[in-house]
Homo-oligomer: A and B are copies of this chain.
Amino acid sequence: MDFPEIEFANCLENAQKAMAEIGLDALLLTTEADVRYFSGFRTLFWESPTRPWFLVVPRRGKPIAVIPEIGAALMRSTWLDDVRTWSSPAALDDGVSLLADALQPYAHVGLPMGRETSLRMPLADFQDLRERLRHHEIVDATALVRALRMVKSEREVATIREICAIASNAFAQASRLFQTGQPLSDAFRAFKIELLSRGAEDVPYLVGGARQGGYADVISPPSQTLLQAGDVLMLDTGATLRGYFCDFDRNFAFGHASSDVKSAHNILWRATEAGLATARPGATAAAVFHAMSAVIGQGCGDVGRYGHGLGMQLTEPPSLIGWDETVLQEGMVITLEPSMTLSQGRMLVHEEKIVIRDGAPELLSQRTPSELPVLIA
């Protein structure tokens, strides 16, 4: 168990209070993060899409796991008492009847169906379940689960702080890890190894780019192109520790940088300062967006927003965007991720990670310098 039982008991208590308020008898959860949030069940086995996994959170009592036998030993090592299993993959009924039985006593079931959610079970099986429970009401529980998971406990924050420190220390090795003449893919590999060596458990996410005076997009895998003087290299990492993500990036110039790039770097740094000055309990996600946007003075282009929540997932609600009226609360962990479009299809992205506190936010990533760092070319 990554956390003591009290952690999960608190999550459950908060969930059951919220369920009572809106008259839900149970939650049905199917995704890795939602199941882990209420059970502590952590495994990379979710990488296999073959088997569905279910957690039923009833209005009273501990969650009920309805899972393939292959997960029984691990699930029984969590704080749960009621672990129901079937031999999966099954020829005809891959857990559906067992799940229907578990949900039978609960007439009003909440299921995350909204923004940023998905149903991790075959759609045909869900239709079968719906038919078996045709007198049940199944309603959208996105808002409820989202509200709970957005506010991190101090144990969650401590884990995220630890993985952020590992990534900050890895980025501090840039001048040793990254050189001109090195293929970009080798730079990525060297950085992943550095993260692991410093204690990251996994590096599920590392994207970036390197081009003269900026980069063209921020989601591509690395090319074999050799780094050269005048390149701006960006790496954006989502490394994990005990199943919690860091997510922030760093930019480096090789040898020299144009005044355009230096200026953009400084604008983005100041936009982040504006975000830091605005991110307070009671402010909205939109307000933080507008504060950063005012410094940048252009739309947020292809990226679509200037930051987001995160935790057990690389990106979580809220979005720092003009329409997201989520009110920030103490304990929310978010990124500030301003970006700028430069000329000729180039862009620059900054990213820092913070936790909302009573007063100024706590920086979880080590603040990037206001001047673009230049590595020897």
A contacts, CB < 8 Å to B: 42-45, 47-51, 68-74, 87-89, 91, 94, 111, 113-124, 126-127, 140, 142, 185, 189, 192-193, 196-197, 201-207, 216-221, 238, 301-305, 308, 313-315, 319, 321, 323, 345
Most chain B CB neighbours (cut-off 10 Å) among A120, A185, A220, A238: A220
Q: Which of B43, B115, B203, B314 contacts A48 (CB 8 A)?
A: B314
How far, in Å, is A159 (CB) from chain B's closest CB? 14
Q: Say yes or no: B123 contacts A121, CB within 8 Å.
A: no
Contact A122 B115 (CB under 8 A): yes
CA–CA, A314 and B88, complex, Å: 16
Distance from A296 Cβ to chain B, minimum over Cβ atoms (Å): 16
Residues B302 and A118 in contact, CB atoms below 8 Å apart:
no
A206 B44 Cβ-Cβ under 8 A: yes
Is A204 a contact of B207 with CB atoms below 8 Å? no
- Given A196-B189, A219-B70, the answer on whether A91 and B204 have CB atoms closer than 8 Å is no
Chain B residues closer than 8 Å to A345, beta-carbon distance: 73
Question: Is there an interface contact between B308 and A50, defined as CB atoms closer than 8 Å?
Answer: yes
Query: Can you name 8 extra interface pairs (CB under 8 A) apart from A47-B204, A119-B119, A119-B123?
Result: A43-B207, A44-B206, A48-B205, A51-B304, A70-B302, A73-B216, A87-B304, A113-B123
- State the CA gap A207–B122 with chains docked (Å): 25
